[in-house]
Amino acid sequence: MSKPFIMDHPLIQHKVTLLRDKNTGSKEFRELINEVAMLMCYEATRDMPVKEVEIETPICITKSKVISGRKVAFIPILRAGLGMLDGMLKLVPAAKVGHIGLYRDPQTHLPVEYYCKLPNDINERDIIVLDPMLATGGSAIDAIDRLKEYGCGNIKFVCIIAAPEGLEAMARKHPDVQVYCGALDEKLNDHKYIVPGLGDAGDRIYGTK
């Protein structure tokens, strides 16, 4: 099992603090989510293979590196995961995007799938699943179950805040999936919200509630 990668870069810590602040409005919240996502994308793609190609600079012919290997697909879990997508695509603009829609049943707290649309060549791509909050892990685990049914192999999960409960559940069910998070919080409360967390990420991104 790979350990979660907790990204404690000062810029991420600073932006996560602003995200947590209940006085941060939707516009700023959305921008911050994308900025943190972009910084996390930088780290989550660190192991991308590169190959050497020959190019000509204005000065001479030289060898230089470009990304090689499998192409990438981002899979935002609807709806809050969408908030991270633009930040990710800024760094990997050629990535394809699949969408998986899950909501938490308010009674059972279990995820219910209502939408799934993936690129045709999804099983040939490296996958980065996006959801800002890893709470119980239910949605993330279900989304990754689904991706594995489609034959997906190299899967990473990027969230902004994780609860220990979610990390444990993910490690139990999908030990092959590397998790990246911007902060590891204390616990879940009785309503399965992350404490201290930042509240409902989807509501704060879209100004609903």
108 is catalytic: yes
125 is catalytic: no
Nearer to ligand URA, 72 or 188 (CB): 188
User: Pick from 116, 117, 126: which is nearest to 41 by CA?
Assistant: 126
Q: Is 134 annotated as a binding residue?
A: yes
Q: Which of 88, 135, 183, 205 binds ligand URA (CB under 6 A)?
A: 135
To ligand URA, the closest distance from the beta carbon of 68 in angstroms equals 36
The half-sphere exposure of 101 on its side-chain side, counting CA atoms within 13 A, is: 4
Interface with ligand URA includes 140 (CB under 6 A)?
no
Please report, as residue ranges, which positions from 2 to 41 form the binding site for ligand URA (by CB under 6 A).
Answer: none
* Rounded Cα distance, 76 and 169, in Å: 19
Q: Which of 9, 18, 96, 193 binds ligand URA (CB under 6 A)?
A: 193
Nearer to ligand URA, 126 or 185 (CB): 185
Please count the residues of this chain forming the interface with ligand URA, following the rule CB under 6 A: 9
Please report, as residue ranges, which positions from 89 to 108 form the binding site for ligand URA (by CB under 6 A).
Answer: none
* Rounded Cα distance, 198 and 110, in Å: 21
Q: Is 7 annotated as a binding residue?
A: no
Show binding-site residues: 79, 104, 131-139, 194, 199-201
Binding site for ligand URA (CB under 6 A): 80, 133, 135, 193-194, 197, 200-202
Q: Catalytic amino acids? A: 104, 108, 200, 203
